[in-house]
């Protein structure tokens, strides 16, 4: 989970202001509309006194006409102000939530790989969708309560004092009890909100894992397990939601009970003839006392809404405070030759307890093909990941064309590197979209088709109804492993990168697919500096050099014939593969 500082309600509002400030005109109209809405509601109740005492009892018909016109005007003003405030708040909330989502998405794109290694997709998706929505709703609801309900409550108090100041004093007695209720509920609410936020992330994660691993769920007969696991998570979330609803709704009966005692006390005073009061005065005070229940009830939920916003702020700003990729390089890499050198490189993953690489030293000349072999977990993929700076070194240096890769800008460095892994990720769209991914609009249709031909991909693309414009589904689900790999190779061929990294690009393929992909790879390697990671030694026998990695160290270095002659680990691996 993302670690974040605890936000108070006030700090949350302060942090939100820079996002609201660009739209302050809409905020002003919304606040003005809320104020007018509250004032008109109070004014409508205040008209009860002159209507009863002076209009009806004194039969002052001209006053009745004036009051009728006033009521029509106030109702019209109330409708316009309510519409204006509602529309502006919705518009403002939409702008703020969109801005937040864009910022969070942009931040996640720029976060280092090491950050994503430690996070679940569900938690991050939950922050982008659920938490931003919760922040927006909590902020708008809190604003409505702060402006409209407080103004309405103040207006009703004025109306009550206007009706009879002695009866109005009853309200002052109720205020301390209502404040205590609000504080009590807010304390109970925060912990449950954080639990619910975590639960939403778990629901998203469970759904994401099942959908992505649906075939595995079927083949391992894990349907019941997944169903029971999801039911358990959603039931916990439901219980948390119910507890939150229970706590938030607790204020309504308590406030109503307190206000009812106040109303009862007023009726007692009137019944005991302790007060000399006209029907109009009594009606306006009594009506205002009943009406004030709503703003008092809403005010007790103000703490709840502010807590929602504060909890959402914690996760959002906690995420936005996480460090981005370090991109302090000033040199723009253009058309590099492809000389690569590792010098005294030692690397340990942030979550690891010991280095995965220890004192790695080697140099690749431009145009050479070097292969990395060894057991799983030996450090081969880590070496490949360090070149495009998916992870940054703390000890040692890596050079491209005798320039430290940290001195290159990240964008220009990665523009020089073509990367094809065993786990190819394709995006929802057409084949053409995936081949040209990241450079849309920079290549013609002919160039895209030519890249597909060189990658042996047109062999299957031509058989599709729409050719390269065929939709391939989420992550290329409609394609085979070999087809996906050839699209990935076409993607690299189109860019013509001088450095090529192949991380077990053929290990999961059948013989025919491997042959086609291997042909495409051999074409791809021409005139490029290539680093190939492979378990199948037959695919790297032609490499200029082979480095055998074990426990994060280079233990053998040479070409195929040299290493066979050494009769060491490489020779043993070769015998095991070809004698099996």
Range of the domain at 437: 427-496
Whether the per-residue pLDDT at 70 is higher than 90: the answer is no
**Is 519 domain-assigned?**
no
CATH number of the structural domain spanning residue 165: 1.20.1560.10
Q: What three-state secondary structure class fits 250?
A: coil
pLDDT digits (tens, 9 = 90+) for 73-82: 999 998 999 8
Residues 33 and 162 in one domain: yes
pLDDT digits (tens, 9 = 90+) for 88-107: 888 888 888 888 888 888 88
The C-alpha angle with vertex 526 and arms to 524 and 528, in degrees rounded to 5, equals 90
Q: What is the mean pLDDT of residues 277-304?
A: 72
- Give 213's DSSP letter: T
**Is 578 domain-assigned?**
no
**Is 551 domain-assigned?**
no
Whether the per-residue pLDDT at 148 is higher than 60: the answer is yes
Residues 309 and 449 in one domain: no
Residues 162 and 306 in one domain: yes
| 500 touches 524 (CB < 8 A) | yes
Residue 137 pLDDT grade (very low, low, confident, very high; cuts 50, 70, 90): confident
pLDDT digits (tens, 9 = 90+) for 228-286: 888 888 888 888 777 767 766 666 676 667 667 766 776 676 666 666 667 777 777 77
Residue 389 pLDDT grade (very low, low, confident, very high; cuts 50, 70, 90): very high
Average pLDDT, the chain: 81
**Is 214 domain-assigned?**
yes
Whether the per-residue pLDDT at 408 is higher than 90: the answer is yes
pLDDT digits (tens, 9 = 90+) for 344-379: 999 998 877 889 999 999 999 999 999 999 888 888
User: Which bin fits 553, alpha (ψ -120 to 50), beta or left (φ > 0)?
Assistant: beta
Res 357: pLDDT:
93
Given 496, 516, 533, which residue is the final one in a domain? 496
- Give 127's DSSP letter: I
Residues 239 and 112 in one domain: yes
Select the more confidently predicted residue: 394 or 173. Answer: 394
Tally of structural domains, the chain = 2
**Is 501 domain-assigned?**
no
Given 299, 320, 341, which residue is the final one in a domain? 320
**Is 384 domain-assigned?**
no
Residues 18 and 138 in one domain: yes
Residues 433 and 312 in one domain: no
**Is 403 domain-assigned?**
no
Q: How far apart are the first and last CA of the chain?
A: 45
Pairing of strands 499-503, 417-421: parallel
Which range has the worst mean pLDDT, 125-139, 216-230, 394-408, 422-436?
216-230
How far is the CA of 453 from the CAs of 256, 485, 493, in angstroms? Answer: 76, 13, 10
CATH number of the structural domain spanning residue 451: 3.40.50.300
Residue 4 pLDDT grade (very low, low, confident, very high; cuts 50, 70, 90): low
Given 320, 335, 361, which residue is the final one in a domain? 320
Residue 292 pLDDT grade (very low, low, confident, very high; cuts 50, 70, 90): confident
How far is the CA of 240 from the CAs of 129, 217, 236, 541, in angstroms? Answer: 19, 28, 6, 60
**Is 334 domain-assigned?**
no
Q: Where are the alpha helices (DSSP H) in 430-480?
A: 431-435, 445-454, 458-461
Res 339: pLDDT:
93
What tokens were used for 289?
Answer: 């006392």
């Amino acid at each position: 989970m993302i670690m974040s500082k605890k936000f108070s309600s006030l700090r949350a509002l302060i942090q939100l202001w820079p996002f609201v400030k660009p739209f302050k005109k809409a905020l002003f109209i919304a606040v003005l509309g809320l104020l007018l809405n509250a004032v008109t509601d109070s004014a409508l109740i205040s008209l009860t006194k002159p209507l009863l005492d002076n209009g009806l009892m004194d039969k002052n018909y001209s006053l009745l006409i004036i009051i009728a016109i006033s009521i029509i005007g106030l109702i019209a003003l109330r409708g316009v102000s309510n519409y204006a405030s509602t529309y502006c708040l919705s518009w403002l909330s939409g702008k703020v939530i969109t801005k937040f989502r864009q910022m969070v998405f942009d931040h996640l794109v720029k976060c280092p790989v090491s950050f994503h290694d430690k996070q679940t997709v569900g938690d991050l998706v939950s922050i982008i969708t659920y938490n931003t929505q919760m922040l927006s709703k909590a902020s708008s609801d809190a604003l409505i309560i702060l402006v409209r309900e407080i103004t309405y409550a103040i207006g009703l108090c004025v109306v009550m004092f206007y009706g009879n100041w002695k009866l109005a004093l009853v309200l002052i007695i109720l205020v301390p009890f209502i404040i205590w209720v609000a504080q009590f509920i807010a304390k109970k609410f925060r912990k449950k909100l954080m639990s619910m936020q975590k639960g939403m992330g778990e629901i998203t994660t469970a759904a994401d894992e099942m959908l992505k691993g649906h075939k595995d769920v079927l083949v391992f007969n894990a349907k019941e397990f997944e169903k029971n696991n999801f039911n358990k998570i959603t039931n916990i979330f439901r219980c948390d939601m119910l507890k939150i609803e229970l706590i938030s709704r607790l204020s309504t009966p308590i406030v109503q009970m307190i206000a009812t005692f106040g109303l009862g006390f007023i009726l007692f005073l009137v019944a005991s003839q302790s007060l000399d009061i006209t029907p109009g005065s009594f009606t306006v005070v009594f009506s205002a006392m009943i009406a004030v229940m709503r703003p008092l009830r809403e005010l007790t939920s103000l703490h709840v809404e502010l807590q929602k916003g504060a909890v959402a702020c914690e996760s959002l700003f906690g995420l936005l405070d996480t460090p981005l990729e370090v991109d302090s390089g000033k040199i723009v890499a253009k058309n590099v030759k492809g000389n690569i050198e590792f010098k005294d490189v030692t690397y340990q993953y942030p979550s690891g307890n010991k280095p995965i690489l220890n004192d790695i030293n080697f140099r690749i000349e431009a145009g050479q093909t070097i292969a990395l072999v060894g057991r799983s977990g030996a450090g081969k993929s880590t070496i490949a990941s360090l070149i495009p700076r998916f992870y940054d070194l703390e000890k040692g240096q890596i050079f491209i064309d005798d320039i430290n890769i940290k001195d290159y800008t990240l964008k220009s460095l990665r523009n020089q590197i073509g990367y094809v892994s065993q786990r190819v990720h394709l995006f929802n769209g057409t084949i053409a979209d995936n081949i040209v991914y990241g450079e849309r609009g920079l290549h013609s249709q002919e160039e895209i088709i030519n890249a597909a031909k060189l990658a042996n991909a047109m062999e299957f693309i031509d058989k599709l109804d729409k050719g390269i414009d065929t939709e391939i589904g989420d992550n290329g689900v409609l394609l085979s492993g070999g087809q996906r790999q050839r699209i990935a190779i076409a993607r690299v061929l189109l860019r013509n990168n001088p450095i090529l990294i192949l991380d077990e690009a053929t290990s999961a393929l059948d013989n025919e697919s491997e042959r086609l992909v291997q042909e495409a790879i051999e074409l791809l390697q021409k005139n490029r500096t290539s680093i190939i990671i492979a378990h199948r030694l037959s695919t790297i026998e032609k490499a200029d050099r082979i480095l055998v990695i074990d426990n994060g160290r280079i233990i053998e270095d040479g070409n195929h014939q040299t290493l066979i002659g050494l009769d060491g680990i490489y020779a043993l691996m070769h015998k095991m593969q070809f004698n099996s």
